[in-house]
Amino acid sequence: MANWKKITRRSFMVLGAAVVGGAAFGVYKVTEVPPNPLIPTPGSVPLNPWVIINADGVTVIAPRAEMGQGISTTLAALVAEELDVDWAQVRVLHGPPAQAYFNAGFAERMSNEPDFKLASQPKSHNVVLEAVPKIFLLQITGGSTGAIGGYEQMRLAGASAREALKAAAAKRLGVTSDQLKTEGGRVIGARSFAYAELAEEAASLVPSDVQLRDPSIWRYIGKAMPRLDMAAKSTGTAQFGIDTWLPGMKFATVRMNPKRGGTMRSFDPKPALAVAGVERVIDLGTGIAVVANNTWSAMQGAALVAVDWGPADYPADTAAMLDTIAKAFADEPNSRLRDDGDVEVDLAKGDVIEAEYRIPFLAHAAMEPLNATAWLKPDGTLEVWCGNQAPIMTRDACAAAVGLGGDKVTLHTPMMGGGFGGRTDPVPAVLAARVAKEFVGTPVKLTYSREEDLAQDYYRPAAIARLTGRIEGGKATALWGRTAVPSAARNALGRLMGFAPPGPDRGSVEGGFDQPYGLPNYRYDGHLSDLTVPLGFWRSVGNSMNAFFLESFIDEMAHAAAADPLTFRLDLMRETHAPSAAVLQKVREMSGWDSLKRPGFGRGVAFCYSFGTPVAQVLEVEQTPDGIRMTRAWIACDPGLAMDPSIIEAQMTGAMVYGLSAAAQGAITFADQQVVESNFYDYEPLRLHQVPAFEVAILQNNGEFGHIGGVGEPGTPPAAPALANALFDLTGKRARDLPLRAAFDFVT
């Protein structure tokens, strides 16, 4: 019996290479090395599932989808670092649905331990082993895992390709590989060869000794690399899913039951058919599709169809939904993932502080509305184009929807015009495939109107939290947080996988239970509500909820203790997790926190450790004659290893803007079981003139044990409490409900 504990995480095998420096191959032998899904074509030789050598450079196949987070650039840089190619020689594509592209980074998300504790100790390899079967089929982009999962996988892909190319050159020159070096896409020895000259031969070679570069000689990792998608995105030449354009294609839209889950009793297609350009109205069972010779005519037609919708099985309006959610407090908590000390004994000493907070449903509202293109061909194969976060699942759902085997379906994953968690469900692709089935031989592009995109989203849940705490001698002695919320994970996984995972529901308490506050008595409970509104994963998931609750309440406790809110946090954190304390200390310095506050301004601080990365934010607000303006923001984060500082800075600021938009203005509400908000005029993100100026610091103290944190989501959770705390500082008014526009007038 092997001693699994000795097997390190860095032992992923590429092309059968035994990896030096990481013991032997082991972990992934639990199943099998996945087959290479790439097929050689003239002038293009795949050396492994991630590296294709072309005549003029290298094409990296990114296993994660690009939705703006910059992952394709970082994954390509990891390969290029080891492969010794110039950056100008590198292209990147998203891979096909294939097991090879599973997301090893999800191993980091399988624990119910607080992340800061995992980062403070050597890797527990047993966690990985247990997780392997679960993660093996997950070709999913999400959970801020892309660079984490890719860090070793992509470097090994590059190194293994490099060694195969060197082996091919060594054979030709009659020398051994160690007498050769590589540079700028060439193997150099007595003669020098372009990689393309060696690729075909190299593809059949299995290098036996693959060593990763020492970080001291990295050229790309840790540097701000020019993004590979930047020129295309600055010239209108980037191809998003919605840009799929095929000769002879038809254009469609859908109108599905806005009372989600309800039936369609009847509909009258005649008004739609009277619209010029409309060809057909298709019955989809719980909604209709309108097909036309242009998208606008299809949308005009769809809006005119009179439909009698059957009801949903949830309450009629938001107030009744919140009443349903509140009822969950009466039940035993489903998730108690933190229970330090004895909160009940401490709180019984009296003089407690209590507060209740409420937050609304939220939509993803990516700039690119949901869409998909499908083409069912006369030979019985289906080709689908759809920006998506889960290719295998999307492909299989399309196949099932039109009665084909998965092997008959080709799925393309183009760039996404934003995702934020909202492109996990395969619904747009499935509906496009079903419409295409009515037009065999003709490609059909299906585009949601913005109204439909908002009405058919899978929402961030609404939630209520009740927190109780106690202060003694200016110090916090106890905190008991309770969150009542319908579980996004159970709701989504039930829908996507057909089962809801039993046991504690981390997503309902993350951002609350897992923070590095060293309170002697600290309990955090999740009470799951059975509300059936369709839910999904919204950038930072449960952290977006609980960070608002906890960080608002910590601020209230600091105020009750007559303490400075930043010092109050630091005092609770310093002993518990030094890298977390360091990001707080950093924003303190950057923002000039200890210098005199400017008159007419308010400042708020907030912190959240999420997705492996502690983030602290300070936000400054100003009372102006036109309303409250957000003036300046400071962010400090610590992902352990900063692979690309420019992309990290962009993610940190963008994620904070996303969180501030929701905190200030975002709410999805229901009336008559339907979402009320319909477009960007009533679900309005912040605009350019409303956002603060940003300063970002990236620290690297949290990587002591090889820990790497995510960067796509961790900037979102502290945004809402930083704003609420700044508004309290400015006005003395404590708002406990989001969005904050209900209590404050912002500059519009």
Rg of the chain over all Cα atoms, to the nearest angstrom: 27
**Given 418, 536, 565, 717, the residue binding another protein (CB under 8 A):** 418
**Within 689-718, which residues bind another protein (CB under 8 A)?**
689-691, 693-694
**Residue 148 or 292 with smaller CB distance to another protein:** 292
**Given 11, 72, 297, 543, the residue binding another protein (CB under 8 A):** 297
Contact (CB, 8 A) for 214 and 222: no
Q: Is 650 in the site for another protein (CB under 8 A)?
A: yes
21: alpha, beta or left? (left if phi > 0; alpha if psi -120 to 50): left
Q: Taking the alpha carbons of 640, 642, 646, 651 in that order, is the dihedral positive or negative?
A: negative
The stretch near another protein (CB under 8 A) out of 86-94, 354-362, 365-373, 662-670 is 365-373
**Residue 11 or 653 with smaller CB distance to another protein:** 653
Give the integer Cα–Cα distance in Å for 492 and 2: 37
List the one residue out of 469, 474, 554, 481 whose CA is nearest residue 517.
554
Q: Is 435 in the site for another protein (CB under 8 A)?
A: no
Give the integer Cα–Cα distance in Å for 558 and 454: 39
Give the integer Cα–Cα distance in Å for 660 and 632: 13
**Residue 219 or 233 with smaller CB distance to another protein:** 233
Q: Is 232 in the site for another protein (CB under 8 A)?
A: yes
**Residue 13 or 696 with smaller CB distance to another protein:** 696
**Given 123, 219, 327, 450, the residue binding another protein (CB under 8 A):** 450
Tokens encoding 58: 């290298």
Q: Is 299 in the site for another protein (CB under 8 A)?
A: yes
Could you write out the DSSP letters of every residue in 700-715?
Answer: --S-TTS-----SSTT
**Given 94, 186, 227, 736, the residue binding another protein (CB under 8 A):** 227
Please, what is the minimum distance in Å from the beta carbon of residue 544 to another protein? 15
380: alpha, beta or left? (left if phi > 0; alpha if psi -120 to 50): left
> Largest Cα–Cα distance of the chain, in whole Å?
83
Q: Is 657 exposed, middle or buried (0-12, 13-18, 19+ CB in 10 A)?
A: buried
Give the integer Cα–Cα distance in Å for 647 and 650: 5
Q: Is 641 in the site for another protein (CB under 8 A)?
A: no
Please, what is the minimum distance in Å from the beta carbon of residue 309 to another protein? 22
**Residue 292 or 359 with smaller CB distance to another protein:** 292
Please, what is the minimum distance in Å from the beta carbon of residue 452 to another protein? 11
Q: How many CA atoms lie within 13 A of 140 on its CB side?
A: 22
**Residue 397 or 647 with smaller CB distance to another protein:** 647
Please, what is the minimum distance in Å from the beta carbon of residue 667 to another protein? 16
Binding mask 236-275 for another protein (x = CB under 8 A): xxxxx-xx-x-----x------------------------
Give the integer Cα–Cα distance in Å for 390 and 67: 12
Binding mask 666-685 for another protein (x = CB under 8 A): -------------xxx--xx
Give the integer Cα–Cα distance in Å for 211 and 576: 36
Q: Is 69 in the site for another protein (CB under 8 A)?
A: yes
Residue ranges of alpha helices (H) inside 513-596 are 543-560, 565-573, 578-590
Q: Is 367 in the site for another protein (CB under 8 A)?
A: yes
The stretch near another protein (CB under 8 A) out of 117-125, 414-422, 585-593, 620-628 is 414-422
The stretch near another protein (CB under 8 A) out of 329-337, 415-423, 478-486, 513-521 is 415-423
Parallel/antiparallel/unpaired status of strands 409-412 and 693-698: unpaired
Q: Which residues bind another protein (CB under 8 A)?
A: 67-70, 224, 226-227, 229-240, 242-243, 245, 251, 276-277, 293-297, 299, 365-369, 415-420, 447, 449-450, 646, 650-651, 653-658, 661, 679-681, 684-691, 693-694
